[in-house]
Amino acid sequence: DGGITQSPKYLFRKEGQNVTLSCEQNLNHDAMYWYRQDPGQGLRLIYYSQIVNDFQKGDIAEGYSVSREKKESFPLTVTSAQKNPTAFYLCASSRRGGVVSNQPQHFGDGTRLSIL
């Protein structure tokens, strides 16, 4: 049963603490993405990766970091530099994100991060 798994579903962070959100996919997709959704807003792209060991900043990368050491995994770290981290975080994957194939993105069920 292929899909994208995000964990945990809910996460609480203390002030000044870094936290890491997990995203794993078994769809054999090359590209992976992290989005943030705030109430009443659309999805905003944080980081994306088209291939292993490579990633690019999205529109709101400040205060976040990622790694892509394995094709299946694209963890997102919310650092203490992110001053407003409370949001719903969504991970997605797709086949090659290039122009050759306009492949739709498949999403996980998200992680809701809150500040204690």
Partner 1 sequence: DQQVKQNSPSLSVQEGRISILNCDYTNSMFDYFLWYKKYPAEGPTFLISISSIKDKNEDGRFTVFLNKSAKHLSLHIVPSQPGDSAVYFCAASAQKAGNNRKLIWGLGTSLAVNP
Q: Does 98 bind partner 1 (CB under 8 A)?
A: yes
- Are 84 and 62 in contact by the 8 Å Cβ rule? The answer is no
Secondary structure class of 105 (helix, strand, coil): coil
Distance separating alpha carbons of residues 93 and 26, to the nearest angstrom: 10
Distance separating alpha carbons of residues 59 and 74, to the nearest angstrom: 18
User: Residues 1-20: x/- map of binding to partner 1 (CB under 8 A)?
Assistant: ---x-x--------------
Q: Which of residues 9 and 81 has its CB atom nearest to partner 1 in the complex? A: 9
Q: Which of residues 85 and 108 has its CB atom nearest to partner 1 in the complex? A: 108
User: Residues 56-95: x/- map of binding to partner 1 (CB under 8 A)?
Assistant: x-x-------------------------------xxx---
